[in-house]
Amino acid sequence: MKKKSISLLICMLFVASILAACGAKTGNEAAPAAPAPAATDKPKELQKVTIQMDGAAVPYYAPMYVAKEQGFFKEQGLDVDFVYADAASIVKNVAADNVQFGFPNADAVITAKSQGIPVKVVHTTYQRGLGATIFKKNKGITGPKDLKGKTVAVTSFGSPNYIQLQVMLEKNGMNIKDVNTKIVGTGAIVNALVSDEVDAITFSMLRTVELKNSGVDVDEIRSDDFLPSFGNVVIASDKYLSSNKNTVIAFNKALNQSLDYIIKGNAKAAIDMSIKKYATSSEGKQEITEQIFNDVFIPYLWQSDLTKKDGYGAADMARWQASIDTQKTFDTIKTSFKAEDLVVTNLK
């Protein structure tokens, strides 16, 4: 019996060793490792594009910065870089395809188009212009007619603000000779108002908010009430738009998503991020910047009755045409043209 038991034990051990060699599995064994991802599983490569923006990095460009930092550009397949220049240079760089997108003020774009520079407005980001005639309340000014005989400062006789002043006066039965116009440089024009060197300035309405915040009792007449205009807009070259329409659409979608994010309760977060990461020279100005967003950008510049119907960046072609025609009337541009030749409205 002993010999039979030993033989049986040997046989059992032999069978077990064969099963182990053949890879028999038990309930406690780990599953085999998953195969390595195929090459097609790699993340989609992002398309690099550059947008050149007017002036320098400021928190007012938060919609661009948010679109990058919140991943809205990335969701659209874009990797966007930011560079800066003056408006005239931006238009030329876009036309030459040195950069894919530009964000200059609309007046520079109208001037460029009148000179045959091949660019298109693909997103009317600022629905209105920033121009305003600002004055201290103790100057006895409540409307345009009260400017008669007053000294009004502008930065130059060729500036858009100077045209805005002329149009406002003409639409109120006066002309530029009814005021004493004074040229004051950009860096000194606000102080000229504060120090009573002038009675009013035709400049940017952002200064109205800043002056009120600093305790100066001022009011304003907004230029857009008399002359339709626009602030910063997104542009692309005719060539780039024709061959990269889907990229332009993707850029606009991301920008619109960013605007919506800011407008619907995230202005402070957007400002804080923009100043910390991009516009560091505005450190310490978060509170006044947020006030400017809430008073000017959100209700007045980024939105209009048209955007509520057609979405952010929609173009009011009648207003565009009025702006073009007015520049021709005041000889700022030599050649007029149809708004449809500059502004694209069917990007879908």
Tens of pLDDT, residues 57-74: 999 999 999 999 999 999
For 212-260, the pLDDT digits (tens) are 999 999 999 999 999 999 999 999 999 999 999 999 999 999 999 999 9
In this prediction, residue 327 carries a pLDDT of 93
- Angle, helix 317-329 to helix 106-114, in steps of 10 degrees: 70
Strands 131-136 and 218-222: antiparallel
Average pLDDT of 118-134? 98
Give percent above pLDDT 90 in the chain: 86
Nearest CA to 191 out of 210, 165, 166 is that of 210
In this prediction, residue 43 carries a pLDDT of 62
Pairwise pLDDT comparison (29 vs 333), residue with the higher score: 333
Tell me how many degrees the CA angle 183-184-190 measures, rounded to the nearest 5.
135
Helix (H, G, I), strand (E, B), or coil: what is residue 56? coil
For 72-115, the pLDDT digits (tens) are 999 999 999 999 999 999 999 999 999 999 999 999 999 999 99
Model confidence, pTM: 0.86
Partners of residue 220 on adjacent β-strands: 134
For 277-312, the pLDDT digits (tens) are 999 999 999 999 999 999 999 999 999 999 999 999
pLDDT at residue 33 above 60?
no
pLDDT at residue 19 above 50?
no
In this prediction, residue 14 carries a pLDDT of 36
Tell me how many degrees the CA angle 285-286-289 measures, rounded to the nearest 5.
85
Helix (H, G, I), strand (E, B), or coil: what is residue 282? helix
Give percent above pLDDT 70 in the chain: 88
State which amino acid sits at residue 48. Answer: K
For 158-200, the pLDDT digits (tens) are 899 999 999 999 999 999 999 999 999 999 999 999 999 999 9
pLDDT at residue 40 above 60?
no
pLDDT at residue 5 above 50?
no
In this prediction, residue 347 carries a pLDDT of 87
| Tokens found for residue 227 | 């002359």
305 CB neighbour count, 10 Å cutoff: 10
pLDDT at residue 16 above 90?
no
